[in-house]
Amino acid sequence: MSDSPITQLLAIMARLRDPETGCPWDIKQDFDSIAPYTIEEAFEVAEAIAQRDYPELKEELGDLLLQVVFHSQIAREQGLFDFTEVVQVLCDKMVRRHPHVFGESDAADEQAVKVNWEQIKQQERARKGKTHQSALDGVPAGLPALQRASKVQKKAARVGFDWPEADPVREQVNLELAELDEALHNGHQADIEDELGDVIFTLVNLSRHLKIDPEQALRKATAKFETRFRQMEQDQPSPLDTLDPAALEAAWQQAKRRT
């Protein structure tokens, strides 16, 4: 019987890391050097999903799996853990965090599932000796800024620190923009950066109240801009950097109409 694809993948990774016969690049890597690639592959998975490119999604999921195997191989070499242990810990966690499926607990709806999930996570942290210090605990510092802002706000909202609806959040956006205008008028770069951050943070909060993923909304806006900009490049007989501001604006409006 032939080896399973997972067994083949683990063997390939071990071969690549072999100190004598492996690949020089793969041998050189460690947890820190691989981490950026892991993050990049996760974003490429998200991009394939956004584009509904399912053959590409299949490939990108494989690339993401490779990152897990790579980290696991490095850990095995250091006597920390191996891929089998990673999978077993995951299986145990999924069963433990779904008592309404694998145990005797009940969860009437999605909200009840979320409440149970958070309680179980707190219990897990306590068993690991990670005592609860703040309602904001558990949000990774390495998350993308928009995603981290949203998660921090959701955790604060769970203890009641939140606006009841979207309208006052929209008013807060105006207040933050006014403070940004004042900082721009004063011309202090540090204050401008601080106030701009407050504007973005409040917009994330508004997105949350509108039940819109700010990361996804920004991705769509960027893709829309890119489509229109490329159309503008195609429409113009001359390079864009040779056009004056009025001509650029006219070209942009034409591209918007065409797309």
Predicted confidence (pLDDT) per residue in 209-251, tens digit:
999 999 889 989 999 999 999 999 999 998 999 999 999 999 9
Indicate the domain borders of the chain: 5-96, 139-212, 214-259
Report which secondary-structure segment, H or E, holds 206: helix 189-209
Report pLDDT for 124: 77
d(CA 238, CA 146): 38
Asked if the domains 5-96 and 139-212 are classified in one and the same CATH topology, the answer is yes
Long-range contacts of 167-174 (CB under 8 A, 24+ apart): 169/202, 169/205, 169/206, 169/209, 170/206, 172/202, 172/205, 173/199, 173/202, 173/203, 173/206
Identify which has the larger pLDDT, 109 or 19: 19
Quote the tokens at residue 131.
Answer: 């005592």
Are residues 64 and 45 in contact, defined by beta-carbon separation less than 8 angstroms?
Answer: yes
Fold of 5-96: Helix Hairpins (1.10.287)
As its CATH architecture, domain 139-212 has: Orthogonal Bundle (1.10)
Condensed to tens digits (0 to 9), the pLDDT of residues 152-171 reads 999 999 889 999 999 999 99
Which carries the bigger pLDDT value, residue 109 or residue 256? 256
Question: Whole-angstrom Cα distance, residue 69 to residue 8?
Answer: 11
